[in-house]
A = this chain, B = another copy of it.
């Protein structure tokens, strides 16, 4: 099964803009709204390369999945994990940015088969966007977090099932499954459940477990991978993931970030993200 190659999204542009709004949406996630030069459109699963402009620019932009676009307003969800995301958080409204977008191959539009959405951590935005655009009641949507407080509940409609490794209280009043998101899916779709197409986005262990589940059941599975990126548009070969079938690599930014799980060599897949 192929991620959309013939994406209907327009070719990417490098747009200037400013930070319009920045706000916490959970204990660890923040929403960033950009106001860009021109209206933007995208397909769920695509991303942008975002950088501050001027003196505070980073050497490389940072890849962020696209959550929503409306006119010239573009929205992301992000977590502060290092220097770049800290600088974004501290930049403040009005800070000038540059944004190369939309990039990469999206999750395909649905066919008649039900989808199993598996989203963890910063893997949420593309699947929230997908569900918003294309979700149907028969699709199963699962979002996982560390303690439940880190899930942006305001953005997860009632259709979403939640899990947490170590569930805290129940601030959102919604039941949270204790375990990871793939365990949640297994509990809801025991052996013999009808076939689902898996769409997974999150840290590597989640993708690995999702691919494992799909493999077991003989389901199709699409995963969106995360790799450190330099360019985001295919020229630097910095963002590679191991390709199945030969011992070569595919780029996360241009061949992906969405891949058929069978197109990747999971044995060689690891490194820093595996921790």
Which residues of the partner chain B approach A55 to less than 8 Å between Cβ atoms? 56, 87
CB nearest to A83 among chain B residues = B55
Chain A 32-58 residues near chain B, CB threshold 8 A:
55-56
How far, in Å, is A66 (CB) from chain B's closest CB? 28
Which residues of the partner chain B approach A56 to less than 8 Å between Cβ atoms? 55
Give how many copies assemble into the complex: 2
In angstroms, Cα B55 to Cα A87, docked, is: 9
Main SS of chain A's interface residues? helix
0 or 1 for each of A86-116: is its CB under 8 Å from B? (1 = yes): 0100000000000000000000000000000
In angstroms, Cα B227 to Cα A69, docked, is: 53
In angstroms, Cα B166 to Cα A27, docked, is: 61
CB nearest to A56 among chain B residues = B55
Which residues of the partner chain B approach A87 to less than 8 Å between Cβ atoms? 55
CB nearest to A86 among chain B residues = B55
In angstroms, Cα B56 to Cα A56, docked, is: 9
How far, in Å, is A253 (CB) from chain B's closest CB? 27
How far, in Å, is A54 (CB) from chain B's closest CB? 10
CB nearest to A54 among chain B residues = B90
0 or 1 for each of A192-207: is its CB under 8 Å from B? (1 = yes): 0000000000000000
How far, in Å, is A85 (CB) from chain B's closest CB? 14
Would you mind naming 2 contact pairs between A and B with Cβ atoms under 8 Å apart?
Answer: A55-B56, A55-B87
User: What 2 A-B pairs come out closest when comparing CB atoms?
Assistant: A55-B87, A55-B56
How far, in Å, is A86 (CB) from chain B's closest CB? 9
In angstroms, Cα B87 to Cα A56, docked, is: 11
How far, in Å, is A46 (CB) from chain B's closest CB? 31
In angstroms, Cα B55 to Cα A55, docked, is: 11
CB nearest to A87 among chain B residues = B55
In angstroms, Cα B219 to Cα A164, docked, is: 83
